[in-house]
Amino acid sequence: MSNGIRVAALEDIPEGEGIVIDKSVTGTADDIALLRDTDGSVWALDDTCTHEDASLAEGWVEDGYVECPLHASRFCLKSGEVQNLPATRSTCPHRVEVRDGEVYLFPNETP
């Protein structure tokens, strides 16, 4: 078990928004979106929408879901499951831990 990658300070991610962590840092196929829910919790999903070329980190985060900035498909923050069209495929979730105000990412581990 690794301790994860320290990717951000919690205060860098405003509630209801997201930031992108580059794949050169995460070692994943896609960049990863760190998304902060309206209850303050932090989640991570593959950043590129499964529909077309949009960054989910630029989406609207609220009540457990992120809404894609282009055509508004919503994805579950926890499971990555797609909720509505036009996207038809779910996206990949990654585990996140917050310790002492720092956000640690565990790429490809299930939350």
Partner 1 sequence: MDADISRVVVVGGGIAGVSTVAALRAGGFDGDLTLVDTGEFPYDRPPLSKEYLAGRRDLKQIALRTPQWYDQQDVRLVNLTAVTALRPAEGAVELAGGRLLPADRVVLATGGGAARPPIPGSDGERVHVLREAEDADRLRTVLVPGARLLVVGAGLIGAEVASTAVDLGCEVVLADPVNPPLAAAVGIDLAAWLHGQHAARGIAVVPAGVESFEPTAAGIAARFSSGHEPRVFDAAVLGVGMVPQTALAVAAGLETERGIVVDTCQVTSNPAVLAVGDSARTRRDGLLLPRTEHWEAAQQDAARAAATLLGRPAPPATAPWFWTDRHGRHVEAVGRMAEADQVVIRGSFDDPAFSVFGLRAGLVVAAAAVDDPTAVRAARRMIDRRVRIDPARLEDPSVNLRALLR
Q: Residues touching ligand FES: how many (CB under 6 A)?
A: 10
Closer CB to partner 1, 28 or 73, in the complex: 73
Provide the β-strand partners of residue 95.
Answer: 106
The interface region with ligand FES, picked from 3-11, 68-76, 91-99, 102-110 by CB under 6 A, is 68-76
By CB under 8 A, residue 60 contacts partner 1:
yes
What DSSP character marks residue 24? Answer: H
Closer CB to ligand FES, 60 or 104, in the complex: 60
Provide the β-strand partners of residue 34.
Answer: 19, 44
What DSSP character marks residue 101? Answer: T
Token pair recorded at residue 72: 């508004």
By CB under 6 A, residue 92 contacts ligand FES:
no
- Partner in contact with 67, chosen from partner 1, ligand FES, none, beta carbon below 5 to 8 Å by kind: partner 1
CB 50 within 8 A of CB 87: yes
What is the arrangement of strands in the sheet containing 74-76, beginning at the earlier edge strand?
Answer: 60-62, 65-67, 74-76
By CB under 6 A, residue 34 contacts ligand FES:
no
**List of residues contacting ligand FES (CB under 6 A):** 49, 51-52, 54, 68, 70-71, 73, 86-87
